[in-house]
Chain A
């Protein structure tokens, strides 16, 4: 079965520190994409970062990086230098190969940044 697991319902981090949000996935497809989305309290879904299964290097986008460990089937999000505005729900998602872009989401992690 294709599945995304996020084991941390909630996380706290001190402002300006780094934080890692965990994500593991399950798929038998050799080709897939991994995504992270941010959902602030206002409710919109904001795309953060993408990693393809064949990408050799970990994806980075500004303060966001994706720690991709293919053998362990993990795709953890690392946020460096946390800011108060990073407080939000974070969802890991997967697009299995041949799915025509359909996303399978995890249940999310609520990140709270403390001043």
Chain B
């Protein structure tokens, strides 16, 4: 079991460029999440997908779009990157039928926008 995988691990973009962060999980979880972590801050929810075919905004959705491609994959797209989107991005998944709703996190993508 690989758990939650994310690609790429690192990325540098120029302002205005676009890119897609990929996330996949092999735990058969229904729910998937995208968070960002800024220096000195906890993680903040960008978008989530409670189940295949559904997506919803979290606390900080502006400037992002998501796609739940299938049960395994949940991608995050930056259409026109801005320096304020420099951050570490984490994907997570969970099984809402479990007793704890524990979220399993990927290793993160460190994004720098210049």
Give the B-binding residues of A (Cβ under 8 A).
4, 33, 35, 37, 43-45, 47, 50, 52, 91, 93, 95, 100-108
Contact = CB atoms under 8 A, between A and B. Distances in A.
Contact of B50 (A91, A100, A107, A108): A100
- Counting chain A CB atoms within 10 Å of each CB, the highest count among B40, B42, B107 belongs to B42
A43 B107 contact: yes
Given A44-B108, A101-B31, A106 B42 contact: yes
A22 to B, nearest CB: 14
A22 B92 CA distance: 25
Contacts of A37: 105
Which size class do B's interface residues fall under? 20 to 34
Question: Majority SS of interface residues in chain A?
Answer: strand
B48 interface: yes
List the 4 closest pairs (A to B, CB-CB), nearest first.
A105-B42, A45-B105, A50-B100, A100-B50
Contacts of A107: 40-42
Given A43-B107, A101-B96, A50 B102 contact: yes
B108 A91 contact: no
A35 B31 contact: no
A73 B107 CA distance: 31
A96 to B, nearest CB: 11
